[in-house]
Structure 1
């Protein structure tokens, strides 16, 4: 692939100025496919959609259908073949002013309508496909393109001119300025009139485009004489007057046979997709798999679709679909998946029955036993949980979930607590050994905001993920208050349950019967871009509203979360939602006897997160890794660069940099650290570049400069709260490596001033925390901290 082409973006003295991304919060690229479709070319477009799904089963981006009018039946056919269709009517009259070779030919008139794609403003990358194409191979390389306007050079005209059947268009071309250039040439007629839209693009670009390999627009004319289609062909283009759905053309039998592979009924197509090996995109599998399951009743197909629902946090949908088919007793895998779905919506007895059936198969038994252990633990039965975990380990001694559950129950000895009347109850996510370092530190940090004593004498711990039952309610009501805090608890797919729809597993009726002050402290709304609550949304909304109504104090840890939560509440409750910074951001003020380090180590710590990687990186992980390699090499000239792993999975960046770019990074296993060691490590380094929320907030709270790698809205929310958005760079930034190097160098060059700035920003958060603390003391009846 040739990548030499200039772009339309302006360049400054240091780095090119890229167009503002379609998603200004995280910078995640919005990508779409697009075609112009009319009734004559509808059969070709339907075959194109089928071929795209069958050749790229793990790719599902929006598909823009440009049209000048389609029948309702045609619209229905198109929607049935793709879950993310967006119909957009072209401004047909706009192109009537263009000079054309044949003004009266309706096909000539419509040939210009695809140019309307340059008027799209809500995407960063658009891939256009002619409707006489079929996709035969992987398009990952096209989806990863970031620069210029890319196309395959014309077959007959050398390298200077492009074939417009396939275009990969970046955001700088989706602009008024580029549209004006198209209009100028089109109206003047200063182009090859018989080449229509392609002629205009070639006249405007004059060879300045990114040249793609011919396999991405392999024209039929290359196969004259019934030549076979090369195996490397990714997109086959049936150029010329004779289309396969119209009878085809002599001399191209091999090519037309490839097209007819995608001339399928809906039932044939759905079956072909579901039976494909390998990874499939959630949206496609649900869209095609659901009607296939309802038509066939296949337990195996239902399992696949239900597993896709579960991976997306759609637990009720998974339970509903698998519940509609008859699962033979000896088909363990569907029983295990249904058990997983049922326990995730708190239908625990039904889940137990399904999971016990699944234990009959050696291949599924360890996972089923681990889930049975989890159900027992949720209900407070540590003995049964330990037994199930041991059974899972007996089947598979390497089974991680069973091992972690066994460790959890082995460490379950209750601490010696002080008198109940002097305690606060504390609902939080209490992280086990080798768990996420940020989540490990959070509960203690929340408690420090209420006083120096964070131990069992003053605090009664309630794990958010255990079922809040009558016994738990009684224990809470014996205390002087209930604090809920310690993480981004408002998220649908971490420890799912059907009682609340968020992380605290509390039924409404028990929440209503809490009769001590309820204080929600520094909780975050942690949903990713594109992440939804599915059918559990109503359950979540009801529980959230009850919680806000019941709470004496309801503080969220950033203004972005406040805005999101207020959108879900009636206006009468908006004023109850207030700002309470995460206590980790004011660590220096909270930790008794804190002293700043006299000198810092000459290190830069880098953290990358890999949970929900698809939501974080989209198609850009290769780009991110390459840009990070550039930054690590440059920063390594100034300081020792190390990987700091909040969880075990965070070590992946060290492995990938070594494998792909030959860079060796020492790894700091922070998931193994105690809280004091976490704080000390962050306090002694010069700079932290982190992707996790608490890989920014914790070092900031320790007085250390930070740069956030933004792959989640919460990172941008925090930087907005401290009025330092320039301390964040999107993982999708086209020039991530250079920008990261430049900003890190700026912070390191004037390190003392940067540290002073961090302290000043922190002081503003501390003033808010102190003001809230005064209100909390009143709520608790003036009890001293």
Structure 2
């Protein structure tokens, strides 16, 4: 029997980076013991001149002492060591076959054998970085280099000291061409690797500004280094760490600025007024705190850990220092970290200390309100939230917690024996529209009545305590689903390390059937869970569940990888109910006519994980696309949350492109479905900006910045309905695919309906099992 691709994808799920298309960028240098002093200065200068840049740094080498490796690792958090195939270059024709320095000059060519990066930037070890190089990270095409500098020489040749190499050159075919020229000797032998590349490229390279490879020879006569120099290159025989060369004193002084001890580097980096990359801040700040006990640095490092979702590391570093009573900000950060690992009593104490300072009080009060709310004390939460608003009437978090504690309109309550308990993330007013719709959609998959007559709500973010356990066990079953529950950072806790704040001991005592329904593994590319705690909680949940359904096969693969093999078969496919909305909503009617609109959505939560270095590129491509899409239909920005409106603001400010904004975060569920059903096409970055319109029968194109988008498109066997936000031809692809989908709109809608029908078959089959398990 042939298996539908919707029920079982033919190929294993790819890694997250491959699915999102997020560009991988690395620096690379060839390093040996003789040039190690220069390389250490290069690393320090890169960090101090570009404190917000931290990419992998590939160290090509032919053998380094353990002490040298340790010194390099101390200077960079993302060093990768790769040994070159030195013997490979012995077959090359060289000007001086017996000179070991000449032999090693070719080893940097091993960089073209790297296959796991999209862009590699090479730096010679006799360079020092003096200015920003972020522009180099944004290059996407060709092989970039600075032209050689010779007085009176107009020949177009590159200087290979700094190269920006794109993936089309990181191939076996390009390496074969290098080998052919090297073995033939048909190149300038005294130019070594540079001679080979010039012979091969014959001037066909992308010109970089000379400031990115400013050779020392330009400064002959002890000229000062120009202020805009980004990378200074000490070409020639005399290297700075060997004493330098007469006539270049001012250049030598610039190099010496970075000949620092590790302690001096840490202090200089931490004093930098520019934004600091999180990885570098942790790498340099942690030993600085251990050495000095500096509270301010400990607070900054803790915030970096919190931003990465490593809350225990934030607790650990703040536990190492003495925080004075009157230092409000460290107390507030410490309280934040403690509450995130469920050490609530200690967190309260720290946050109460933080309320003494007006500049931290509102935030501290909002976190105290959150802790009270988590424990089910709405009255205390409201009091704390009001205290925060008294300090700062504009404080958004305090306002959110105050609104959350206001009474919910009473609904008719059913008998417990007739109800299902339902763990979900119940979104606030003006919260994410997709998360607002999701709990109701889950309930529709079980019962047409989604009210409290048939459902007992359990907010996933509230602490699941003895009273909550008693209420759940009084119902006929427990459904878990609705919201991005398998994600570590939306509302972190130390009990489960995912979104349901449930201790293992209480989960073990749930004695009604448990159905995990259409939950997704929502970690971003580059985001991780507290592995051990999450694995233990996940395993217990799977063991306890009578039904364990995940919303895409990508999530299934991720979760199975964390489970022992005997539990793998319990994990099954259950599509998100929003994708079959037309089947679930009673008396659904497809629109007789559609508005001549294209709805465009972009997401800005965790923007660094979504865009990396590419946000400026993404915005420029969207401006180009919107102009062309406007010829097909009216383009409108649809905001699932308040932050999503940033797309319209930035397009107008940066590119003069204006879009109407639809505040979907203010819509009721019927309004969300109605809007998506009546448009012609939705181009969305949020998961539910794709799944909800698809479920309403509307064609979609996904702007992929998260693996889950690609997971869904693979499950419906339509990967071409997705375009990575990093794609080199993003605008052209969006316009081309939009034009194709709109050209025969009826056919496209029919295709959506057909794909949806396959998901409905899976949902109906699972529903039969669920009726047996839960009754009703």
Report TM bin, short chain: over 0.9
Measured against aligned partners, the alpha-carbon deviations of 1:220-249 in whole angstroms (never above 9, x if no partner) come to 111122221111111111111111110011
| Distance across 1 between alignment mates of 2:169 and 2:17 | 17
| Distance across 2 between alignment mates of 1:281 and 1:676 | 43
Counterparts of residues 544-563 of structure 1 (less than 5 Å): 544-563=538-557
CA contact (8 A) 1:220 1:239 kept: yes
Question: Could you tell me which residue of structure 2 aligns to residue 355 of structure 1?
Answer: 351
- Segment of structure 1 superposing worse, 277-286 or 704-713: 277-286
Match of 1:649 among 629, 639, 643: 643
Measured against aligned partners, the alpha-carbon deviations of 1:285-327 in whole angstroms (never above 9, x if no partner) come to 1111111111111111100000000000000000011011100
Q: Structure 2 regions of 5+ residues with no counterpart?
A: 1-13
Match of 2:465 among 455, 469, 473: 469
SS for the counterpart of 1:301 is helix
Measured against aligned partners, the alpha-carbon deviations of 1:406-436 in whole angstroms (never above 9, x if no partner) come to 1111244654421111111110000001100
Report the TM-score, using the length of structure 2 for normalisation.
0.97
1:573 equivalent to 2:567? Answer yes
Q: 1:21 to 1:310 in 2, by over 3 A?
A: closer
1:402 equivalent to 2:401? Answer no
Match of 1:25 among 19, 22, 26: 19
SS for the counterpart of 1:24 is helix
SS for the counterpart of 1:554 is strand
| Distance across 2 between alignment mates of 1:261 and 1:340 | 38
Question: Could you tell me which residue of structure 1 aligns to residue 740 of structure 2?
Answer: 746
| Distance across 1 between alignment mates of 2:366 and 2:733 | 45
Deviation at 1:124, TM superposition (A): 0.5
- Segment of structure 1 superposing worse, 161-170 or 229-238: 229-238
Match of 2:131 among 137, 155, 159: 137
Question: Could you tell me which residue of structure 2 aligns to residue 296 of structure 1?
Answer: 292
| Distance across 2 between alignment mates of 1:171 and 1:392 | 51
1:203 equivalent to 2:199? Answer yes
| Distance across 1 between alignment mates of 2:15 and 2:536 | 35
Question: Could you tell me which residue of structure 2 aligns to residue 8 of structure 1?
Answer: none
| Distance across 2 between alignment mates of 1:690 and 1:751 | 18
| Distance across 2 between alignment mates of 1:700 and 1:557 | 14
Question: Could you tell me which residue of structure 1 aligns to residue 581 of structure 2?
Answer: 587
Question: Could you tell me which residue of structure 2 aligns to residue 107 of structure 1?
Answer: 101
Q: 1:374 to 1:415 in 2, by over 3 A?
A: farther
Question: Could you tell me which residue of structure 2 aligns to residue 282 of structure 1?
Answer: 278
CA contact (8 A) 2:16 2:525 kept: no
CA contact (8 A) 1:21 1:29 kept: no
Question: Could you tell me which residue of structure 1 aligns to residue 60 of structure 2?
Answer: 66
Counterparts of residues 54-203 of structure 1 (less than 5 Å): 54-156=48-150, 157-158=153-154, 160-203=156-199
Counterparts of residues 248-287 of structure 1 (less than 5 Å): 248-287=244-283
CA contact (8 A) 2:376 2:462 kept: yes
1:238 equivalent to 2:225? Answer no
Deviation at 1:660, TM superposition (A): 1.5
CA contact (8 A) 1:244 1:259 kept: yes
Measured against aligned partners, the alpha-carbon deviations of 1:628-659 in whole angstroms (never above 9, x if no partner) come to 11211111011000111111111111111111
1:506 equivalent to 2:502? Answer yes
Deviation at 1:159, TM superposition (A): 6.3
Q: 1:171 to 1:522 in 2, by over 3 A?
A: same
| Distance across 1 between alignment mates of 2:540 and 2:394 | 42
Deviation at 1:513, TM superposition (A): 0.6
Question: Could you tell me which residue of structure 2 aligns to residue 532 of structure 1?
Answer: 528
| Distance across 1 between alignment mates of 2:416 and 2:311 | 37
Number of corresponding residues: 761
1:422 equivalent to 2:423? Answer no
Question: Could you tell me which residue of structure 1 aligns to residue 630 of structure 2?
Answer: 636
| Distance across 1 between alignment mates of 2:408 and 2:125 | 62
| Distance across 2 between alignment mates of 1:494 and 1:405 | 15
Question: Could you tell me which residue of structure 1 aligns to residue 766 of structure 2?
Answer: 772
SS for the counterpart of 1:605 is strand
| Distance across 2 between alignment mates of 1:616 and 1:236 | 33
SS for the counterpart of 1:490 is coil
Match of 1:728 among 722, 726, 745: 722
CA contact (8 A) 1:22 1:30 kept: no
CA contact (8 A) 1:382 1:412 kept: no
| Distance across 2 between alignment mates of 1:159 and 1:680 | 65
SS for the counterpart of 2:227 is coil
Counterparts of residues 283-362 of structure 1 (less than 5 Å): 283-362=279-358
| Distance across 2 between alignment mates of 1:576 and 1:453 | 28
Deviation at 1:488, TM superposition (A): 2.1
CA contact (8 A) 1:153 1:159 kept: no
| Distance across 2 between alignment mates of 1:340 and 1:446 | 32
CA contact (8 A) 2:17 2:525 kept: no
Q: Structure 1 regions of 5+ residues with no counterpart?
A: 1-19
Question: Could you tell me which residue of structure 1 aligns to residue 6 of structure 2?
Answer: none
Q: 1:182 to 1:434 in 2, by over 3 A?
A: same
Report the TM-score, using the length of structure 1 for normalisation.
0.96
Question: Could you tell me which residue of structure 2 aligns to residue 460 of structure 1?
Answer: 456
| Distance across 2 between alignment mates of 1:343 and 1:118 | 48
- Segment of structure 1 superposing worse, 599-608 or 180-189: 180-189
Measured against aligned partners, the alpha-carbon deviations of 1:564-620 in whole angstroms (never above 9, x if no partner) come to 000000001001000000000000000001000000000001111111111111111
SS for the counterpart of 1:689 is strand
SS for the counterpart of 2:320 is coil
| Distance across 2 between alignment mates of 1:352 and 1:23 | 39
Question: Could you tell me which residue of structure 2 aligns to residue 375 of structure 1?
Answer: 371
RMSD over aligned Cα atoms: 1.2
Question: Could you tell me which residue of structure 1 aligns to residue 663 of structure 2?
Answer: 669
SS for the counterpart of 1:489 is coil
SS for the counterpart of 1:254 is helix
SS for the counterpart of 1:488 is coil
Question: Could you tell me which residue of structure 1 aligns to residue 697 of structure 2?
Answer: 703
| Distance across 1 between alignment mates of 2:289 and 2:406 | 42
Match of 1:497 among 487, 493, 496: 493
Deviation at 1:22, TM superposition (A): 10
CA contact (8 A) 2:369 2:381 kept: yes
| Distance across 2 between alignment mates of 1:758 and 1:285 | 47
